[in-house]
Amino acid sequence: MLRRSAALGLIAVPATGLLSACATGGGGGGGDGATAPAGEKTEKNPLGVKEGAPLEAFIFKGGLGDQYAKDAEADYKATYKADVKHTGTQQVGPKLTPRFAGGNPPDVIDNSGADHLDMNKLSTQGQLQDLAALLDAPSLDDPAKKVRDTIHPSTVEKGRHGDTFDVLYYAFTIYGTWYSQKLLESKGWAYPRTLDEMVALCGEIKKAGIAPWTYAGKYPYYVHFNLFAQIAKIGGMEKWTAIDNLEPGAWTSNDAVRQVVEHYEELAAKKYFLEGSQGLTHIQSQTAWNRGKAVFLPNGSWVENESAPTTPDGFGMAVGALFDGTGDAMPHGTLRAEPSEPYIVAAKGANPVGGMELLRIMLSRKHAQNFATKVKSLTCVVDATEGMSLSPGLASASKVFKEAGDHLISLQLQEWYPALTDEKIGGLTGQLLAGELKAADWIRKTQAEADKVAKDPSVTKFKRTA
């Protein structure tokens, strides 16, 4: 999982990433037919990979590392007797912008992190390979099943630009409120069910000399992982869809927005955030949390792997589902869980077919389980971890995911308009949590920022129906 975040590679990114994609326009997502190598399509090579054709992979090396990708690349190399050039980096956008502009991008890219490429622009310009052939290819584990039948349906929904599926979100991130099960049990505290219970527990925690919450104040959009989903749970997906679609009054006319933002205003007013949180990076906030300086942390399921160097033995990392508010449209146990870690194949790369084949290899059960083992996170491959011995955080994430059933929340706003959510709204959220902005002002200003984007002809707009 924003699904993409600074130095993480999951859901959310600051606006600097948007400025790093000014690739030239081009044809549709079919690759450069004049130069791309093509091999014979067979039962074992359904996409028609050219044996011996080199492949270049550009992988974001953040909280998930890049060893899992290297492992898949090794299988590709052995199968197709081809050289694979691997680059692990946290500067995807700055390094690849000139290459897209020059017409020589790498074949497959894990487009994550603070400095990611703008996939909306790349898709509009025809720079992204249409991945329909990958979806319709037989899966590596069971040729009778297409790849599309082995992955979570939301993966296909989230990876579309219009009618074209051109982004594969490989990971499946569980977002929520993270905590130490050991700490809660040692203090006799129970994870709250409701927003009001959370406020009451925060009072007890503060009396015990511990800060109830901390967060990545330098990247306040981390709080949106919970805040946005909490609005969707209380108000319902229909009202959240209006927010995703930048509809007029979508923020100001939604009572769930008021409930949730006033909740955060109360947490700030009662000083329930660790002092100095507004100046912390994601790593620093996680470290403070691991050291017992704060009880709760808003984050995604990549946190277990990323914070491993500072997590003490027996910490009992766990995640809780969203809290109940008043008049909720969705039931208790509802969870924000959605595809993350966006992989793209360059349509004008030297070997786009090879890029798709690498993704097909990664979507095998073998490599989905390897990913879970290496980085303690789920993939979009359904039930890939069944029967595995899971780490505490991943086991907790899997448990709340199963308990949620069909009551899952997936949001698009941060994917479609990261400059809005991470820079503009993120700045307002930072002020809110610092006690410098009232809830009513946050809502009014957020609506104004959304309206600006809606009216800006230079911003490509997208629309969802549910």
**Burial zone of 227 (CB within 10 Å; 0-12 exposed, 13-18 middle, 19+ buried):** buried
454 found inside a domain: no
248 found inside a domain: no
- Taking residue 327's Cβ as centre, other Cβ atoms within 10 Å add up to 11
Instruction: Using pLDDT thresholds of 50, 70 and 90, give the confidence band for residue 15.
Output: very low
CA nearest neighbour of 254 among 322, 174, 325: 325
> How many Cα atoms sit within 13 Å of 364 on the Cβ side?
20
Give tens-digit pLDDT for 74-109: 999 999 999 999 999 999 999 999 999 999 999 999
pLDDT at 266: 98
Task: Please say if the pLDDT value at position 29 is more than 90.
Answer: no
Antiparallel, parallel or unpaired: β 335-345 and 408-409:
parallel
Q: What is the mean pLDDT of the chain?
A: 91
Q: Report percent pLDDT > 90 for the chain.
A: 82
pLDDT at 10: 32
**Burial zone of 92 (CB within 10 Å; 0-12 exposed, 13-18 middle, 19+ buried):** buried
pLDDT at 35: 62
96 found inside a domain: yes
61 found inside a domain: yes
For the ranges 27-36, 122-131, 276-285, 387-396, the lowest mean pLDDT is seen at 27-36
404 found inside a domain: no
Instruction: Using pLDDT thresholds of 50, 70 and 90, give the confidence band for residue 30.
Output: very low
Give tens-digit pLDDT for 298-339: 999 999 999 999 999 999 999 999 999 999 999 999 999 999
Give tens-digit pLDDT for 62-71: 878 999 999 9
Spatial distance between the Cα atoms of 345 and 93, rounded to a whole number of angstroms: 15
Q: CA distances (Å), 167 to each of 102, 214, 259, in order?
A: 22, 33, 34
Task: Please say if the pLDDT value at position 276 is more than 70.
Answer: yes
- CATH number at 95 reads 3.40.190.10
Spatial distance between the Cα atoms of 295 and 228, rounded to a whole number of angstroms: 21
The residues near 29 (Cβ < 8 Å, ≥ 6 apart) are: 123, 126, 127, 128, 129, 130, 164, 166, 347
Contact 368, 384 (CB under 8 A): yes
Task: Please say if the pLDDT value at position 13 is more than 70.
Answer: no
3-state secondary structure string across the chain = CCCECCCCCCECCCHHHHHHCCCCCCCCCCCCCCCCCCCCCCCCCCCCCCCCCCEEEEEECCCCCCHHHHHHHHHHHHHHCCCEEEEEECCHHHHHHHHHHHCCCCCEEECCCCCCCCHHHHHHCCCECCCHHHHHCECCCCCCCEHHHCECHHHHHHCEECCEECCEEEEEEEEEEEEEHHHHHHHCCCCCCEHHHHHHHHHHHHHCCCEEECCCCCCHHHHHHHHHHHHHHHHCHHHHHHHHCCCCCCCCCCHHHHHHHHHHHHHHHCCCECCCHHHCCHHHHHHHHHCCCEEEEEEECCHHHHCHHHCCCCCCEEEECCCECCCCCCCCCCEEEEEEEEEEEECCCCCHHHHHHHHHHHCCHHHHHHHHHHHCCEECECCCCCCCCCCHHHHHHHHHHHHHCCCEECCCHHHHCHHHHHHHHHHHHHHHHCCCCCHHHHHHHHHHHHHHHHHCCCCCCCCCCC
451 found inside a domain: no
Give tens-digit pLDDT for 191-220: 999 999 999 999 999 999 999 999 999 999
142 found inside a domain: yes
pLDDT at 179: 98
168 found inside a domain: yes
Task: Please say if the pLDDT value at position 260 is more than 70.
Answer: yes
Task: Please say if the pLDDT value at position 1 is more than 90.
Answer: no
Please state whether the predicted TM-score (pTM) of the whole model is above 0.75. yes
**Burial zone of 433 (CB within 10 Å; 0-12 exposed, 13-18 middle, 19+ buried):** buried
pLDDT at 103: 95
Number of domains the chain contains: 1
For residue 149, which phi and psi values (nearest 5 degrees)? -85, -5
Task: Please say if the pLDDT value at position 162 is more than 90.
Answer: no
Domain containing 146: what range?
A: 15-172+338-388
